[in-house]
Amino acid sequence: MTATPDVDLDRRPSGTERAVLRALSDGRQRTVAEVCAELAVPRSSVVHALNRLRARGVVMDHPARGSARGRPARSWSLAAAPGLLAVIVAAAHGAIAGVVRPDGEVLAVVEGAEDSSGPAEALELLDRALAEAEVTPAGIELAVLGLPGPSLFARESGGEPLDGSHLRRFRDWDGRPAAHVVGEHLGCPVFCENDANLAAIGEACHGNAADTDTTLYISLTYGTGAGLVLNGRLHRGGSRLAGEIGHLHVDDGGQLCECGARGCFWQTMSIPALLSELAMVHGRTFTVGDLDAAAISRELEIMRALRGFGRTLGRRVADLVVFLDPQAIVVDSTLGAASHVIADGIREAVDQYTPPTMAASVRVLSGSLGRSAHVLGAAALARTENLLRAGRKVGTGDVSGCAGLNGRAGSPAPGGDVGPGNTANLEAVTGEDLNR
C-alpha cells in the first residue's frame, strides 16, 4: 500500500467540492479559471474547494507551463491513483470479472457462464481477469464486488444475522461473507456495491447517458433490477435497495417470492424466463447470444417477443417515469442488439402511459458499454467516492475514518478484524454522491 498523509476523511465534501470533483472527473487538467467558467462558481469558492481537496489528497496541482504573457496558471486534476481495481460481479444469472484503472482504462473483462456466480467459479473468473490483464493480486489496490442486494453492507459483514434475508445466498459464500472471501483471495480491501448500481454508474459516467444528470438504468441479463442516478447522484435509498424493479408487485395471486412478497415482476417477466419460453416453443435452448443474433437478423418472431417484453417492462417503467421524470432510460446493453428492440418496446409503453410532456423529454436508449459497464462503474465509484484512499486507510487497520463517512451514525468496523489481507465493506466516503 502506498503511504498516504494523515488526512481527514471523515467529512462530507461541500457542494462546491462535489461540483469541482465532477468537473475534474474526466481526468483532464484544468486551471482554476476553467473550473470557474465551467461551474459558474466564484473563483474564491473554487480555490477554497481545491485547496481542501488537495489537503485530503483527492486532487493535485501541476506546475504552470510557460506562457508568453503574464503569469502562467497552475492546473488541477484528480490525484493520480497508483493502484488497480479488480472487479467481480456475481449476479443472479452470471458473473463478470475485470481489471480497470481508476481513470477508466479497462485492462480486462471476462464473463463467466450463467451458473458461474458461486464462490469458486467467481474467484476463478477473477483469476482469469488478472491473468488477462497481466497483473498479480499484489498490484490490486481495491476490489469492487458487485452483488444483488444492498450496497455497502458493512454491518452484515460484521456478523449480524442475515436470517430471513432473500439476499443471503448472494452475500454468503460457503457460509462466509462474500467480501471476506474476495478480500482474502486478493489481499486487499473490498467495496461492495449493488450490481445494477455499478452498471448504472458506468453508463451514467462513461456511456450513452453521460450527458444526463437523471438516469434510470435497467439491468436485465444478469438479474432484473435497476440503478438510479438522480441529479448526478447514485440513489441507493434508505435500505440501500432502491431500484429493485424485479420485485415490483404485479400479481396478487402470484407465487411467493424469495423476497417475502408475492407476485413479483421478475417471477414472470425476466430474460431467463423469456429464454425458457422461447426454448419451450422452439424445442431448443436459447441464450442471450441467440437474442442478439435474432435481433441483428431481424427474425420477426423473436423481435416480437423482445418488443413485447419491452412493452410489459415499459408499463412499469412508465410509472417510474412519472415519479422520477428521468432524462434517460438506459437498457442493459449486455443483450447486444436485443437491447435496442426492448428499448423500442419500453418507448412505446412510456409514450402510451405517461403524460406527453414527460414522454417527450425522456430518452429511451440502449446502453453502450456492454459487459464493461460494471467494470467502468467500479472505476467511476472509486474515482468519485474516493474509495482508493479509504481503502488504504482500512488497509492500515484503521477503519474508524470510514465507518461514518457518509454522514450516518458510524457503523462499527466489521468485526474489528479488518486489516491487510482481510476485507472491508467501506461506507461511501463522499456521501453517496456520484460526483460525475
Distance of closest approach, residue 265 Cβ to Zn ion, in angstroms? 8
Distance of closest approach, residue 263 Cβ to Zn ion, in angstroms? 8
For position 226 contacting Zn ion by CB under 5 A, the verdict is no
For position 259 contacting Zn ion by CB under 5 A, the verdict is yes
Size of the site for Zn ion (CB under 5 A): 5
For residue 363, list its beta bridge partners: 328
Instruction: Pick between residue 187 and residue 254 the one whose CB is nearest to Zn ion.
Output: 254
Taking the C-alpha atoms of residue 266 and residue 273, their distance in angstroms, rounded to an integer, is 8
* Contact present, 399 and 366 (Cβ < 8 Å): no
Taking the C-alpha atoms of residue 378 and residue 132, their distance in angstroms, rounded to an integer, is 18
Instruction: Pick between residue 47 and residue 257 the one whose CB is nearest to Zn ion.
Output: 257
Instruction: Pick between residue 102 and residue 225 the one whose CB is nearest to Zn ion.
Output: 225
* Contact present, 378 and 144 (Cβ < 8 Å): yes
Distance of closest approach, residue 26 Cβ to Zn ion, in angstroms? 38
Cβ-based neighbour number of residue 22 at 10 Å: 19
* Contact present, 372 and 202 (Cβ < 8 Å): yes
Query: Which positions from 332 to 351 touch Zn ion by CB under 5 A, shown as an x/- string?
Result: --------------------
Instruction: Pick between residue 93 and residue 247 the one whose CB is nearest to Zn ion.
Output: 247
Distance of closest approach, residue 323 Cβ to Zn ion, in angstroms? 20
Distance of closest approach, residue 106 Cβ to Zn ion, in angstroms? 33
> Which residue's C-alpha cell is 442488439?
337
C-alpha cell at 252: 396478487
Closest CA to 433 of 400, 392, 405, 393: 405
Which of 264, 318, 343, 346 binds Zn ion (CB under 5 A)? It is 264
Which of 235, 247, 307, 316 binds Zn ion (CB under 5 A)? It is 247
Distance of closest approach, residue 316 Cβ to Zn ion, in angstroms? 13
Distance of closest approach, residue 264 Cβ to Zn ion, in angstroms? 3
Instruction: Pick between residue 197 and residue 267 the one whose CB is nearest to Zn ion.
Output: 267
For position 316 contacting Zn ion by CB under 5 A, the verdict is no
Distance of closest approach, residue 248 Cβ to Zn ion, in angstroms? 9
Taking the C-alpha atoms of residue 399 and residue 404, their distance in angstroms, rounded to an integer, is 9
Cβ-based neighbour number of residue 163 at 10 Å: 6
Instruction: Pick between residue 92 and residue 264 the one whose CB is nearest to Zn ion.
Output: 264
- Binding segment for Zn ion (CB under 5 A), chosen from 81-89, 117-125, 258-266, 424-432, is 258-266
Taking the C-alpha atoms of residue 125 and residue 282, their distance in angstroms, rounded to an integer, is 32
Closest CA to 369 of 343, 344, 339: 339
Distance of closest approach, residue 259 Cβ to Zn ion, in angstroms? 3
- Binding segment for Zn ion (CB under 5 A), chosen from 86-94, 127-135, 260-268, 357-365, is 260-268
Closest CA to 212 of 236, 230, 196: 230
What are phi and psi for residue 308, nearest 5 degrees?
Answer: -65, -40
In three-state secondary structure terms, 389 is: helix
Taking the C-alpha atoms of residue 49 and residue 47, their distance in angstroms, rounded to an integer, is 5
C-alpha cell at 75: 492546473
Distance of closest approach, residue 199 Cβ to Zn ion, in angstroms? 20
In three-state secondary structure terms, 126 is: helix
Give the torsion sign (CA, 419, 80, 430, 49): positive
C-alpha cell at 127: 483469476
Instruction: Pick between residue 157 and residue 165 the one whose CB is nearest to Zn ion.
Output: 165
- Binding segment for Zn ion (CB under 5 A), chosen from 4-12, 142-150, 243-251, 416-424, is 243-251
For position 295 contacting Zn ion by CB under 5 A, the verdict is no
Instruction: Pick between residue 265 and residue 286 the one whose CB is nearest to Zn ion.
Output: 265
Cβ-based neighbour number of residue 179 at 10 Å: 27
For position 257 contacting Zn ion by CB under 5 A, the verdict is yes
Instruction: Pick between residue 241 and residue 259 the one whose CB is nearest to Zn ion.
Output: 259
Instruction: Pick between residue 170 and residue 286 the one whose CB is nearest to Zn ion.
Output: 170
Q: What residues between 36 and 75 interact with Zn ion by CB under 5 A?
A: none
Residues forming the site for Zn ion (CB under 5 A)? 247, 257, 259, 261, 264
